Amino acid sequence: MEKQWRSIEEFEQGITPEQENSSGKTSASRRDFLKLFGFSVASAAVVTSCEKPVQRAIPYLIKPEEIIPGKANYYASTFYDGTEYCSVVVKVRDGRPIKIEGNHQSPVSRGGTSARVQASVLNLYDDARYKEPVLSGNKISWDEVDSWITSRLMDGGNTVLLTPTIISPSTKEALRKFLQAHPNARWIQYDEVSASGIREAHMDLFGTSIIPGIHFDRADYILSFDADFLGTWIAPVEFARDYASTRELSTAHPHMSRHVQVESALSMTGSNADARIPVTPRESVLMLGAIYNKIAGATGHPAIFTPPSVISVDDLVADLLAHQGKSLVISGSNDPDIQKLVAGINLMLGNYASTLDLKQSIQLKQGDDREFEDFVSSLSQGEVDNLIMANVNPIYSLGGFEAMKKAGFTAYLGSALNETASACQLICPDHHYLESWGDAEPVLGSYSLQQPCIHPLFNSRAWQDSLIKWAGEDGSYEDLVKFWWENMIAPREAQGNKQWWVDTLQAGYFVSALEPIPASTSYTPPELKLDPPESDLSLVLYSPVGLNDGRHANNPWLHELPDPVTKVCWDNYLAISPADASAMGLEDEMVVTMDGIEVPVLIQPGQARGTISLALGYGRIKAGKVGDGIGVNAFTWVRNRKGYREYTRDHIKLELTGKTYPIARTQTHHTMEGRPIVRETTLKEYQSDPSAGNHFHLEAEAHSQTLYPEAKFDGYHWGMVVDQNKCTGCNNCVVSCIAENNIAVVGKEEVKNRRIMHWMRIDRYFSDQPENPRVFHQPVMCQHCDNAPCENVCPVSATMHSNEGLNQVAYVRCIGTKYCINNCPYRVRRFNWFKYMNNEKFDFNQNSDLSRLVLNPDVTVRERGVVEKCTLCVQRIQEKKLEAKLEGRPLREGEVQPACVQSCPSGALVFGNMNDPDSEVSKLKREERNYHLLEQLHTLPSIGYLTKVRNTEPVPGEVDSHDASSDHEQHG
Amino acid sequence: MDSAYLLGVFDKEETMLSAFRKMKEQEIEIEDVFTPYPVHEILENHGRKSRITIVGWLYGFFATIGVLAFLFYTAVIDWPLNYGGKPSNAFPSFLVITIILVIFSITILSLFTFSWRANLWPSNKKPIYHPGATDDKFVIMVNKEKADAARASSVMKETGAIEVIEK
Amino acid sequence: MYNTEVRGPLVLGNKSLSQITADITSPLYTRPKFWWIVGLGISSLMMLLGFWSIYVTISQGIGTWGVNNTVGWGWAIINFVWWIGIGHAGTAFSIFLLILRQEWRSSINRAAEAMTVVAVGCAAIFPALHMGRIWDFFFIFPYPNTRGPLWVNYNSPLFWDFIAISAYLLISASFWFLGMIPDFATIRDNTTSKVKKAVYGFFALGWRGSVGEWKRYEGLSYILGGIAAVLVVSVHSIVSTDFAVSVEPGWHTTIFPPYFVVGAIFSGFAMVMTLMIILRKVYKLQDYVTDSHLDKVAKILIFVSLIMGTAYLTEIFLAWYSGNEYEIFTFFHNRITGEFTKQFWAMFICNAIIPQLMWFKKIRSNLTIVFIISILINVGMWFERFNIVVTSLSNNYLPSTWATYTPTFVEISMYLGTIGIFIFGVLLFMKYIPMIAISEVKAVNKYQLKKK
């Protein structure tokens, strides 16, 4: 039925009629074939869990016109894991999904992905997945399951269906069927990290329980309270793209937004702010109250009662009032009162007309904490007979779920092992999202489709299918999706039109027109009396960029992903401010006990005094071989306050234990030592002098001399530009690179030994005072120098320069003298210290037949003892060059995109042909902001960096001068 | 027992040398002289030539040409590559290699030449006329066919040979 | 001809030629002493440890060492350079002293050359094992192959190094062996034991001491001498290019070649000193290795130590004078002060300061102190290589990549292993090979005979 498109380009060109007809004819068999093929490669290796991967290749009898062995197919689909949404394109090679790409057609995520999304493909091949239905320890068939359940449900006991937020219209329909069939059944949505405060606030103010659409791109002034909107808050991918668009600078357009972050823990978002105010949770509430009152005063609204704020908010208020209707105030708090204040401020500033959108509201995070509380209490009173849970993990995220024992019968519908599932009587394996149909409505009116890209690896069943079955209806969920889209979502004129469905499935998304809601301007202030938390030592719990809320805790790629700010892998830890640490006599890696639980300490510049912070998502005990027992479960400290899940605690007591616990960091020195590495200037200076902060570049160019003539590159000369003003340090590129290039996971010990294999790293530097440092993120990959020092010193010619300016490594030729590593001033080369594949010592994804299915066949898996590094995804370049050659044309601009570039949510990376003066790269390289890393060495890198510009008052002393904090070596 | 050689054994370099000189004056052809260490007067006057130094020089000369040619062929003609933006004919880099390889070849070749010309090789069975010659004796050997043995022995005796052996 | 009256006797106690033979070859005929057997035992244990570490390295990977993606070279390279340096003594002795017509060398150079051969052998172990894929070692030979043929990269100092070391090993070995041929013959002709006769006869290559043999022998010695003279300068210069050709701060300097050569001779002479002091003690060779010999070596050490000190200061001065912030950081914040202060000052004091004590005749003539100093010099030289290799790599251009380095047990045992090999080799040498070039000593001895 549906027709896939091999690449975004092909989709853009549209499908020619012949293709339609042909595809129309063979589509059914094609789909089946795809399933079979995927099955033959994958499941044969897996279900039978045989020792070695399958060696036999299956020849085609009739080759489906779509499948060319060794050529990838791309399918538009949707990633949604219960908290995060992303529209994706799945790269399928020989029936195996091996890579997630961003879908540039999507109006919501617009080609961006996040580290979690990139890593999700590995979860498909997770050893911890359930392989067949299990009833109290015994494997059973689906028919047994169905009969068993239906019999139980027919008893008419109270049934509760606990799910994460459901944004899929078709799933909601399936739920409706189920609830209809079982009148005693209730459906409860539950968010580990809840945003019901926002919904509650909007319920009060606007009468609808929504999260408004938040449009950073329309904001000139952004004021964020503890909201890590670039990292994990609500819809980071969408926000990052919008945010980055306001940070885009060029001599043609020398304007950018100003972003002020008020927060306790130094979050990734805070590290990108133009100005950052570290405060305790209490102070942040007081500041909000003060701002509210001042703005209320200025706009003629009644004030509310609030204790005075010790921190002056005058200039914040001034800026806000100066940007009425073009500003944006957000808060990450889950307290409805605070969210009411925020909404009130935005209303008074008239932002609801522009930067905030009541119409296209965000559909994520629909969980209602109070409803959930009621459910828990009724559960603990034994009023629930049947508890059916789908893809939620309350035992973990409530820090224990005693009440569950009271339920007469517990069933779990989910894909992978977790604490809750293993405590349930019945386990019904769910598909991974790459195996199942589905759809999503992340933003009201914006839909996207999810299609299976591989035949289910195990004897699993979409949980929606189960619902339909248990509702006593027939027909599959697949049919339901199609039906729903063709008849409910499709515009009237297109309803029942097969072609519409095919096209939409191909694009992966559809936006429907909405009736406009009049932007509400009238504002009736709520009666509010702020009672902020005590200002004691307060604990702040946050979702880390890697593991988020811990639902992917068995994913080694995410565990080995260094935190954007602390650069720590494989652990969570108590971040504490340098001042507090010295006051309490704490040092890095010391272990303290907090409420009897032992946690290691990490001194974190920028952490607000009087606060400590701890990452959620760690401390899983039943996640699988990788995730078990890593870190501590921070959800233990999450508590309900006034009926809302609160992610801060006060009156925290720490006791020293005298123990120490090693923490693995990928970077142990945190200042630039005054070297011109990340160059920085302020907007004012940039406007007056575009090369501000980058004068060293001119100097280096002036002194540039060469003994030998510089090498010429005819044809293509590949290069990249990194816009450090857009890069948020979100680590998406890092995971994308891991997935594309089969990069090995080495584990905590080896990371500690400084042997991480990541080809792409994001260096992070601090400057200024440790209380509130300026933070710099700098993505560093192989610079592909035209005068590469590494090439000169290889005795066996294993590394040399290609005629397209690529610095290449011949793995088969390398004998591992490591001289190239020493002679690379950027230290981007990686040595295979051990055999990382099939080695019990490195029991991660590459040590499992199942997980190895994720390997990219286009990229060699490196042997022990050879050196490897970034290739600018040469395999992608070659693939596209071949296509172009077959069509007898040169490569088009933007046709080749390395993995890191393709899915960068903020568009900070640009790749292209430097020989073409009109290419985006060449244009950016002509910008005055452009410079090269360590250019004084005359290595002539092909990678350019654009000066970071902060929209702030000129800072005393540029980066070129020695930083104040370079002598704060206790965190260096 | 018929013997081909007459051996004059001396225990001092000086006496041996005086005998040597006398025999030279009287034009008694001396077959060979065996000494525990090089006695330069004999090496210079005995009349044997060795061209090994010249040969060594020739080896060096041709090795230089050969090595440079090889480097140029492999790096520039046969398989040129771009290493760090350097031209494939990076002559300065070649020099180091040339020096070492030339030294190398000279050594090996002249070692073999030495072992061939001075016919020295493992376990060859050359007759050892007097074991003392490698310890503390100086032995002058005269070939009976080529020289008058009687005169030779008398000369040796009067110049203080501790013994004169027929072998 | 030579004139040595001015320099006083080279060999004491008016030995007759046969006496010399007897003295020098005596270890061959006496039963091994207790300390010799003990020494052999200990050194073989150390060798075993070394072989274990080699096994671990090859079977599991370089990951068993402490090196990492920032500090790619560690103890292996340090020890490699260290051993090569020690090896230089033999060649230096034989060549420089030959060229300078220093006759007294003859009583020392045999031991020195033996040292060279063993030390260079030890050195060669490290670069080989330090390769990630030692089983593909042969890739480094420029031979026609199926890959294009893909030759090798002549720009790489490692390739220069490879051929330089191989040449050095071969030449010093042949030089050594050549010198021993007449002595083997001597043993062959004087021993009573059939076995010895056969074995030494084999290696004597049928030497008789005839005119033709001596003539060509001398000719060849001149050739090899000239060659080795080039080698002794070139080999360590090339080793130094392993560092000097790179872009690393603290490595990229033109002072390296001479600095390395001098350093090598320094450590080599120190090691000779160490060995000779032991040898003459245990084998009562005071008459051949006279106090004046050691005194001369000591004087050389003082002089070279001065050069070393100058080199260190020059390096530091140039780092400061260049105004290059990376150089300045490496020298002033990572060596003189900072993470690696201890190693730096250990180097400086042991090499540049302590040897200066030997200006005093009292100290110079007190062999115990001289012995200790000679040991300290080699300790200092080890730290010099540590300074060069580790400090530059650990904290270089991008602070984000800075990392430190600590050796693992495997690396340490490999080092001990090579020391074991060295001692083992030297012990065998003492027992089975005339420690002093008999023929040369005889040649020198005649001057005493003349005098009386």
Q: Is C12 exposed, middle or buried (0-12, 13-18, 19+ CB in 10 A)?
A: middle
Indicate the residue of B33, B71, B120 with minimum beta-carbon distance to C206.
B120
Closest of A382, A390, A370, A381 to residue A162, by C-alpha: A390
Q: Which of A162, A174, A6, A34 is nearest to A94 (CA)?
A: A34
Cis preceding linkage at C144, omega within 30? no
Q: Which residues of A touch C399 (CB under 8 A)?
A: 669-673, 675, 677, 765
- Quick one: closest CA in C to A672, which residue? C399
Q: What is the mean pLDDT of residues A290-298?
A: 92
The tokens of A71 are what? 């050529």
Question: Does the distance separating the beta carbons of B134 and C207 come in below 8 Å?
Answer: yes
Query: Does A518 touch chain B if contact means CB atoms closer than 8 Å?
Result: no
**How far does the CA of residue B61 sit from the closest CA of chain C (Å)?**
14
A703: contact with C, CB 8 A cutoff: no
CA-to-CA distance for A480 and A171, rounded, in angstroms? 9
Give residue C334's identity as a one-letter amino acid code.
Answer: N
The pLDDT score that the predictor gives to residue A228 is 94
Residue type for A896, please?
V
The CA R_g of chain B, rounded to the nearest whole Å, is 25
Region A810-829 average pLDDT: 94
Contact assignment for B82 to A791 by CB distance below 8 Å: yes
- Give the model's confidence band at A38: pLDDT under 50 very low, under 70 low, under 90 confident, else very high: low
d(CA A915, CA A281): 53
Q: Is A831 on the interface with C (CB under 8 A)?
A: yes
Give the closest of C61, C68, C399 to A672, CB-based.
C399
Chain A residues with beta carbon closer than 8 angstroms to that of C397: 675, 825-827, 934, 937
Q: What is the pLDDT of residue A59?
A: 67
Percentage of chain A with pLDDT > 90?
Answer: 69
Report the candidate in C213, C210, C191 with the shortest Cα–Cα distance to residue C200: C191
Q: What is the pLDDT of residue A18?
A: 39
Mutation for B interface: A796, A801, A819, most B CBs within 10 A: A801
Alpha-carbon torsion (A658, A662, A663, A665), positive or negative:
positive
Residue C434's Cβ-count burial label (10 Å; 0-12, 13-18, 19+) is: buried
> A343, exposed or middle or buried, with CB in 10 Å at 0-12, 13-18, 19+?
buried
- Interface contact flag, A797 B85, Cβ < 8 Å: no
Whether the predicted pLDDT of A22 surpasses 50? no
Task: Collect all residues from B whose CB is shorter than 8 A from any CB in A.
Answer: 81-87
Distance between CA C393 and CA C405 in Å, rounded? 9
For residues C62 and C129, give the distance between their C-alpha atoms in angstroms, rounded to a whole number: 8
Domains in chain B: ranges and CATH: 5-49+132-166 (3.30.70), 52-117 (no CATH)
Alpha carbon distance A475, A478 (integer Å): 8
Task: Name the token pair of A178.
Answer: 């189920």
Query: CA A571 to CA A634: how far, in whole Å?
Result: 12
CB contact under 8 A, A823 and C155: no
Check residue C393 and give its pLDDT.
93
Q: Which helix (H) or strand (E) holds A691?
A: none
pLDDT tens digit string along A626-671? 999 999 999 999 988 888 999 998 889 999 999 999 999 999 999 9
Count the Cβ atoms, other than its own, within 10 Å of residue A311: 13
Chain C residues 263-292 within an 8 A CB cutoff of chain A: none
C-alpha to C-alpha distances, C226 to C120, C182, C219, nearest whole angstrom: 20, 21, 11
The alpha helices in A2-109, defined as continuous H runs, are: 8-13, 17-46
Chain B residue whose CA is closest to C213: B118
> What does the DSSP assignment read for C123-135?
HHHHHHHTSTTGG
Residue C384 β-bridge partners: none
Alpha carbon A49 to its chain's center: 32
* β-bridge partners, A931: A945
- CA A540 to chain CA centroid, Å, is 21
**Model confidence band, residue A578 (pLDDT cutoffs 50, 70, 90):** very high
Cβ–Cβ under 8 Å, residues C248 and A822? yes
How many CB atoms within 10 Å of residue A781? 25
Using DSSP's 3-state secondary structure scheme, residue A650 falls into coil
Whole-model pTM: value is 0.89
pLDDT of residue C4: 42
Q: Does the CB of A803 have a partner CB in chain B at under 8 Å?
A: yes
Lowest average pLDDT, out of A519-523, A618-622, B137-141, goes to A519-523
In the prediction, which pLDDT does C102 show?
A: 66
Residue B45: its pLDDT value, please? 79
Verify whether the Cβ–Cβ distance A797 to C153 is below 8 Å: yes
- Where do we find the tokens 């108590």? A574
Best CA proximity match to A910, nearest among A898, A925, A896, A921: A921
Q: Which CATH number is A538-665 given? A: 2.40.40.20
Query: Cβ–Cβ of B118/C217 closer than 8 Å?
Result: yes
What is the DSSP secondary-structure string of A211-265?
Answer: EEEE-GGG-SEEEEES--TTTTSSSHHHHHHHHHHTS---SS-----EEEEEESS
| A:940-959 residues touching chain B, CB 8 A cutoff | 940
Residue A819 corresponds to which tokens in the numbers above?
Answer: 């001289």
What's the confidence (pLDDT) of residue A34?
55
Which residue in B has a C-alpha nearest to residue C442's C-alpha?
A: B37
Among A365, A105, A368, CA closest to A235: A365
For residue A916, the distance in angstroms to the closest alpha carbon of chain B comes to 21
Q: A405: which 2 tokens?
A: 């024992």
Per-residue pLDDT tens for A81-107? 999 999 999 999 888 999 999 999 898
Question: Which residues, 6 or more positions from C150, have their beta carbon under 8 angstroms from its beta carbon?
Answer: A797, A813, B79
Indicate yes or no: CB of C214 within 8 angstroms of CB of B107: no
Which is it for strands A611-615 and A574-576: parallel, antiparallel or unpaired? antiparallel
More confident residue, B119 or A236: A236
List all residues of chain C from 158 to 177 with a beta carbon under 8 Å from chain A: 158-159, 162
Q: Which other chains touch chain A, taking contact as 3+ CB pairs less than 8 Å apart?
A: B, C
State how far residue B105 is from chain A, nearest Cα, in angstroms. Answer: 21
Each residue's pLDDT tens digit in chain B (167 positions)?
467 888 888 888 888 888 888 888 888 888 888 888 888 888 887 877 778 889 989 999 999 999 999 999 998 998 888 998 888 888 888 999 999 999 999 999 998 998 888 888 887 777 888 888 888 888 888 888 887 888 888 888 888 888 888 87
Q: Please check whether residue B52 touches C, CB under 8 A.
A: yes
Break chain A down into helix, strand, coil percent, rounded to 5. Answer: 30, 20, 50
DSSP A529: B
More reliable by pLDDT, C59 or A207: C59
Nearest chain A alpha carbon to C70: A827
Instruction: Determine which of C400, C410, C411 to mutate to test the interface with A (most A C-beta atoms within 10 Å).
Output: C400
User: pLDDT tens digits, residue range A536-552?
Assistant: 889 999 999 999 889 99
Would you state the pLDDT for residue A23? 39
Q: Taking the domain A134-193+367-511, which CATH number applies?
A: 3.40.50.740
> Is C142 touching A (CB cutoff 8 A)?
no
Q: Which fold has domain A680-950?
A: Alpha-Beta Plaits (3.30.70)
Q: Please name the residue of chain A whose CA is at the shortest distance from the CA of residue C396.
A: A825
What is A603-636 written as a DSSP string?
E-TTPPTTEEEEESS---SSS-TTTTT-S--GGG
ipTM score: 0.89
Which pLDDT value is given to residue C39? 93
pLDDT value at residue A53: 52
Query: How far, in Å, CA of A450 to CA of A593, rounded?
Result: 45
The mean predicted confidence, pLDDT, of chain A is 88
pLDDT tops 60 at residue A43: no
* Neighbour tally for A503: CB within 10 Å: 18
Q: Given CB atoms, is B107 within the 8 Å cutoff of chain C?
A: yes
B111–C contact, CB cutoff 8 A = yes
One-letter amino acid at B35 equals T
A593 vs C: CB within 8 A: no
**Residue range A704-733, pLDDT digits in tens:** 888 888 888 988 999 999 999 999 999 999
Distances, alpha carbon C348 to alpha carbons A930, C254, C312, C382, in Å = 44, 20, 8, 11
pLDDT of A265 > 90? The answer is yes
> Which candidate in C152, C208, C221, C238 is best for mutational testing of the B interface (most B CBs within 10 A)?
C208
Q: What is the nearest CA distance from B150 to chain C, expressed in angstroms? A: 23
Q: How far is A820 from chain C (nearest CA, A)?
A: 9
> What's the pLDDT score for residue B5?
85
Question: Quick check: A926 pLDDT over 90?
Answer: yes
Q: Residue A954 above 60 pLDDT?
A: no
d(CA C404, CA A401): 46
Q: Helices H, strands E: what count in chain B?
A: 5, 4
At residue A382, what is the residue type? G
Q: Would you call A967 an interface residue with chain C, using a CB distance cutoff of 8 Å?
A: no
Model pLDDT, residue C262: 92
Q: Domains in chain C, start-ordered, CATH in brackets?
A: 5-451 (1.20.1630.10)
Of all residues in chain C, the one with the smallest CA distance to A821 is C72
Per-residue confidence band for A213, with pLDDT thresholds at 50, 70 and 90: very high
CA gap C41, A85 in Å, rounded: 71
Residue A755 at interface with chain C, using a CB cutoff of 8 Å: yes
The pLDDT of residue A1:
39
DSSP C70: S
Strands A509-511 and B163-166: unpaired
- Residue C284: the pLDDT is 77
CB contact under 8 A, A835 and C147: no
pLDDT confidence of residue A916: 93
Residues of B in contact with A784 (CB under 8 A): none
Residue C170: closest C-alpha in chain B = B104
Q: Which of C69, C242, C247 sits opposite A821 (nearest CB)?
A: C69
Choose among B100, B68, A796, A791: nearest CA to C143: A796
- Round to the nearest angstrom and report the end-to-end CA distance of chain A: 59
Chain C within 8 Å of B99 (Cβ-Cβ)?
Answer: yes
A35 pLDDT tier (thresholds 50, 70, 90):
low
According to DSSP, the β-strands at A867-868 and A680-682 are unpaired
Contact predicate A677/C398, CB 8 Å: yes
Strands A438-443 and A446-450, by their bridges, are antiparallel
Neighbours of chain B (3+ CB pairs under 8 A): A, C
Q: How many CB atoms lie within 10 A of CB A64?
A: 17
What is the Cα–Cα distance from A794 to A819, expressed in whole angstroms?
7
| Chain A (399-458) residues lying within 8 Å, Cβ to Cβ, of chain B | none
- Each domain of chain A, given as residue ranges in start order, spans 8-49, 134-193+367-511, 196-362, 538-665, 680-950
- Residue A539 has φ and ψ, to the nearest 5°, of -100, 130
CATH (residue range A196-362): 3.40.228.10
**A947 neighbors A724 (Cβ within 8 angstroms):** yes
What is the pLDDT at residue C446?
63
**C-alpha to C-alpha distance for C301 and C83, rounded to whole angstroms:** 18
| Identity of the residue in B81, B85, B87 whose CB atom sits nearest the CB atom of A787 | B85
pLDDT tens figures, A591-615: 999 999 999 999 999 999 999 999 9
The segments of chain C whose pLDDT lies below 70 read 1-15, 99, 101-105, 107, 446-452
Query: HSE-up of A200 (CA within 13 Å, CB side)?
Result: 23
Angle of the A732-741 helix axis to the A115-124 helix axis, nearest 10 = 30
Q: Between chains, do C17 and B136 touch, taking CB under 8 Å as contact?
A: yes
pLDDT at A854: 93
